[in-house]
Structure 1
Amino acid sequence: MSACADIRYELGAYALGVLDDDDRRAVDAHLADCPECRAEVDSFTRLGAQLALVNEEQVHQAAEPPPELLDRTLAAVASGRRRGRRRLLLAAAAASVALGLGVGAGWSLLDQDGDSPALTAPPTTSASESSDGIAAQVGMEARGWGTALTVRMTGVPVKTRCRLVAVGDDGRRDTAASWEITYPGPARFEGATAIPRDRLQHLEIVTTQGHTLLTIPVA
């Protein structure tokens, strides 16, 4: 239990891809045997796109966070001070998001079944299966600042590090998300790009070594 508690202070930074190699390897080893922490990492990876989908009215209506959330956040900040300025800034950013929006309420909006009057399902574009068994489906929603993206994919080997690259009709390239496959099975992640929805030409899922796994036409 103590090992799990220690690792959980790293999960936010892990999901953002800012851990150093030694810390990332330690988290990877723990996630291989801990479905509870894997689920928490999945939740962290959804955070960026959730914020993009929340409008001003929903922010004002967000529920007051429970006391235990504040206690946990303060503990994370204290841990961040011991681990250096970078971790402290990450903890502070997470605290401002959690306290301002009500993390649990935001996730329930994205996870609930059926249509919501505030959030509607974005149109989706499907990619055909590639020769090595990798398949993906992407959901896109136009926003004032660009495009919110949701990707579901299967067939990528465990420990593969990937990036989602948005490509505009003018050739502009923008990294919309990055992640690592830490366990077998379908993966779901979210990202965002400043390229407007009507200017997107295609999306690429590429490894950190530069190998293109899938190209997804969206124009």
Structure 2
Amino acid sequence: MSDLDEHGSLHRLLGGYLLGGLDETDTDRLDAHLHDCADCRAELDRLAPVPEMLQHLPDARHLGGDLPPLMVAPAARPSPQNIEGLLGRMRAEKTRETRNSRVRWLVAASVTMIAAAAIGYGVVVNTGGGPSKPPSSVAQTVVANFQPAAGSGMSGQAVLTKKAWGVAVSLNMTGIQGKAPFLCWVKRADGKQEQAAVWGETPEHTAKVDGSSSFTVTDVRDIVITDSAGKVLGSATVT
């Protein structure tokens, strides 16, 4: 007999199994089958209330019939503990399947919600007519080379670095001659200027100086170096 035929044959015995109408051999066969067959355990769960329902039916003789009472061998009926154990196993499997299904549903729902939120966020940030524009690109660092004033041998360069509070100025110069102290002036296009640094004379007439200004890097147009008498030694135009 094939496994399919065996399953069908044992499946048809479930009613008798619950009512105790099987002999010991069939009862043992069905016990073993129910241990491994989820379909038959499900059917057993569906049929489980039947014996109790039958107990509440009136006797056939009271209905005018002449059917003999059903004779069941007590030893043939499976024990309540055995039935309850099988049903408990089946219900546990159902609970596990339900839990797994719920987890899969929650995962799918979470992915959907995250995707919807991402799409919604994109709609919000892009509203207002057209695609969003990248922030304006402002140079973080600008390098300007010094040109000597008439009669001066000064050379070097100035490096301007953008800061939140303004601009940092780094100077690297040679050929600085004049009356110390020397001063660095930062000038704007409108003529306003700020002193960015001051330093003394060096034997080699060179200097590496760091200074600063409250002007933004985009506002600075010229860096001018003078001596203490105001004589211009050199200047660098920021482009």
TM-score band, normalised by the shorter chain? 0.3 to 0.5
Q: TM-score, normalised by structure 1?
A: 0.42
Relative CO higher for 1 or 2, CA cutoff 8 Å, sep ≥ 6?
1
Provide TM-score, normalisation by structure 2: 0.38
